[in-house]
Amino acid sequence: MIIGLTGGIGSGKSTVAKAFEALGIGYVDADDVAREIVEPDEPALSEIADHFGRHLLKTDGSLDRAALRERIFNEPSERAWLESVTHPRIRQRIVERLQVLKRHSPYVLLVSPLLFESGQAALVARTLVVDVSMDTQRERTLRRDGVSAAQIEAILAAQLSREERLVRADDVLDNDGDPERLKAQVAALDERYRHMSETNSPQEPKRS
Ligand code: ADP
């Protein structure tokens, strides 16, 4: 059984994933995979360099992400081309990685900020949304990343709204509380998910 874990920036996805990991649950982070598939020696990187030009590579041969972002900014067809090259590879790598993890984990997590937006939700049996108020989200992101308030607002505006995410959630973890509360909720969810995977019944009625 694969559980999709998502939430907005700074909601606590990584923290929640690590709490599951501490209970013996394997996870794949879609952001890590998205970075991996454009590393030097990966076929996607050669395709990108052939298409956009080698000036998008840094001197060490790695992808200049900032230059690429700039290149596709306001260029929907170029963005679509890039996604046609990267998305299938990301998806395939995620699936392979989850298969390996499944051997040693009663169920596995796919952690993805864009679970609903990217179509990756199709890979999972259930979705778990980490939910926080927007004030908490702003405050924790500011403290973690030290970015400007304006940058955070831009990211928030580009992401799915809190309400849209909650409508799609099978399960919700309320992370406005302290880390102990987070752990207690993870422990309760872990028990349910273990039971579901043992009985092969991921589609229990929604709780949220
Ligand atoms: P995401 O992966 O969703 O962007 P993180 O897991 O990195 O979010 O959490 C954002 C920041 O908030 C991190 O610095 C993390 O340590 C902190 N954090 C997460 N959950 C809590 C909590 N319940 N109480 C206090 N700080 C938290």
Cα gap 156→153, rounded to integer Å = 5
CATH code where residue 66 lies: 3.40.50.300
Indicate which residue's Cα is closest to atom 16 of ligand 1. Answer: 15
- pLDDT score at 201: 86
Ligand 1 site, residue 15, Cβ cutoff 6 A = yes
Choose the residue to mutate in 9, 14, 15, 178 for probing ligand 1, maximizing ligand atoms within 8 Å of C-beta: 15
Phi, psi of 73 (to 5 degrees): -60, 125
Residue 23: what are its φ and ψ, rounded to 5°?
-95, 10
113 close to 99: Cβ distance less than 8 angstroms: no
pLDDT of residue 146: 87
In the chain, the number of structural domains is 1
Give a yes or no: residue 207 inside a domain: no
Residue 134 to residue 153: CA distance in whole angstroms: 10
Atom 19, ligand 1: residue with shortest CA distance: 12
With respect to residue 205, please indicate whether it lies within any of the assigned structural domains: no
> In the prediction, which pLDDT does 164 show?
96
pLDDT tens for each residue of 63-110: 999 999 999 988 999 999 999 999 999 999 999 999 999 999 999 999
Q: How far is ligand 1, taken at its centre, from the CA of residue 22, in Å?
A: 16
CA of 146 to the centre of ligand 1 (A): 14
Q: Is the CB of 165 under 6 A from ligand 1?
A: no
State CA 34 to chain mean position distance.
10
Structure tokens at 85: 């090259």
pLDDT at residue 158, rounded to an integer: 87
For the full predicted model, state whether its pTM sits above 0.85: yes
Characterize 167-186 residue by residue with b for buried, 16 or more Cβ atoms within 10 angstroms of its Cβ, and e for exposed: eebbbbbebeeeeeebeebb
* Residue 63 belongs to domain spanning: 2-199
The one-letter code for the residue type at 31 is D
Q: Is residue 15 part of a domain?
A: yes
Query: Is 80 domain-assigned?
Result: yes
The Cβ-side half-sphere exposure at 135, using a 13 Å CA radius, reads 2
Residue 207 has pLDDT above 60, yes or no: no
Verify whether ligand 1 is closer than 6 Å to residue 152 (CB atom): no
- pLDDT tens for 150-203 read 999 998 998 999 999 999 999 999 999 999 999 999 999 999 999 999 998 887
Q: What is the pLDDT of residues 116-142, one digit of tens each?
A: 988 899 999 999 999 999 999 999 999
C-beta separation of 73 from 25 below 8 A: no
The reply to whether ligand 1 has any atom less than 6 angstroms from the CB of 14 is yes
